[in-house]
Amino acid sequence: MIELLSVSKKYGDAFAVKDISMVIGKGELCVLIGPSGCGKSTTLKMINRMIEPSSGDILIDSESAATFRPELLRRRIGYVIQSVGLFPHMTVEENIAVVPRLLKWERSRVAARIAELLELVKLDPLKYREKYPAELSGGEAQRVGVARALAADPPILLMDEPFGAIDPLSRERLQYEFVKIQKELGKTVVFVTHDIDEAIRIADKIAILRAGELVQYDTPENILAAPANKFVHDFVGIDRALKRLSRFKVGKLMRPTTSIAIANRLTSLDELRKKGRFSWVTDENMRLQGWVELTKIATEKELKEALTELDADVVSAHVDTSLKNALSKMLEHGVKTLAVVDENTRLTGEIRMEDIVDFTDGGDST
């Protein structure tokens, strides 16, 4: 757990960071975000004393960070920067081994740990161990950077725009994998970025800074639902409602539904007509085939003709698709309801645009 108590940093007469107090819980991923010059990097660097606070205190697990020798403090905190800073004269292996060696681990333990970490960041140890940083791509280098930071198994990770220099496609993948690792290992992470989408995607809590001051500190959902002031409102973007939708999954709002099997006998068609105008159509294994307008059919033969086929892989959603992506698909295909299918395209429910709209409209703010 990290506590900042009225932490400030002054350069001459100007405050880079002014009186920030916040608590970052154990195992939480807290993102510091704000416009350029807001003090987010400065705040981050005060935690591991790369920059010393001018006033205030920082407690790490209830002990003041100031009481330790800086080097010793930093060996228990992982630190990842945007340019990674891999040592060009050391192999991937040697880079990762730096802190364990500083802590005087035995060779065998170090070697095992390196293999473990490389696998964790999805780099084949046999292939990457002996490579030099100059031979790595941007994404690979950043993965090694993360592995290096985790080497001595520190409880806390500090990250300063680590994925900023990576191309957008690789970046999303790195973010996703990183969050998985973080949750798995239970690390407390303080993460600086200027990319609001990144923050919303990965954060447990977001701290919005402006001109050195903390403006709002809350979960992404709450910030998006209720920005504290005009600045935050503008900062999170005019599409905050949509952004908020990206935090929730289809599973939250989906409704159960029924379907007609394509080979069914249509004895109960009247029954069905009472339910509504449309129905999903599936095959004998509950696999989605399409939908049909019930008013247009009377017999089984007409069912096949009246069927509007759907590509079940494309025009559908999964339980953990974000509401934002589901809405996007609806708009793309011009429908107001999407079928929810499992990985075998078997129908499991449906999600309706009206439900999403209701939800967005200040409904559930969990």
Partner 1 sequence: MRAAPAGRREWIKAALLILIFAALISNMALWEALLRFLFPGEKDVLYPQADLTQLVGEHLALVLISSALAIIVGLGIGIFVTRPAGKDFLRIANDLSSLGQTFPPVAVLALAVPLLGFGFKPTVTALFIYSVLPILRNTIAGLETVPQDSIEAAYGMGMSKSQVLARVELPLALQVILAGIRVSVVVNIGTATIGVVVGAGGLGSPIISGLVRGNPAFVLEGALAAALLALLADFLIGKVEHSLSWSR
Residues that bind partner 1 (CB under 8 A): 48, 50, 70-77, 79, 81, 83-91, 98-99, 102, 132, 134-135, 148-149, 158
Minimum distance, C-beta of residue 107 to partner 1, in the bound complex (Å):
17
Minimum distance, C-beta of residue 156 to partner 1, in the bound complex (Å):
12
Minimum distance, C-beta of residue 224 to partner 1, in the bound complex (Å):
32
Q: Strand 337-341: give its sheet, edge to edge.
A: 316-317, 337-341, 347-352
Which residue from 48, 35, 57 is spatially nearest to 212, judged by alpha carbons? 35
Whichever of 79 and 248 has its CB closer to partner 1, that residue is 79
Minimum distance, C-beta of residue 106 to partner 1, in the bound complex (Å):
19
Whichever of 75 and 249 has its CB closer to partner 1, that residue is 75
φ, ψ (nearest 5 deg) of residue 325: -70, -35
Whichever of 16 and 294 has its CB closer to partner 1, that residue is 16
Minimum distance, C-beta of residue 343 to partner 1, in the bound complex (Å):
41
Whichever of 66 and 263 has its CB closer to partner 1, that residue is 66
SS percent in the chain: helix, strand, coil, step 5: 40, 25, 35
- Tell me the pairing of strands 14-24 and 29-33: unpaired
Which distant-in-sequence residues (6+ apart) come within 8 Å of 40 by Cβ?
Answer: 32, 33, 34, 192, 209
DSSP classification of residue 152: T
Minimum distance, C-beta of residue 225 to partner 1, in the bound complex (Å):
36
Whichever of 79 and 280 has its CB closer to partner 1, that residue is 79
Which distant-in-sequence residues (6+ apart) come within 8 Å of 275 by Cβ?
Answer: 258
Whichever of 131 and 252 has its CB closer to partner 1, that residue is 131
Is 250:347 a contact under the CB 8 Å cutoff?
Answer: no
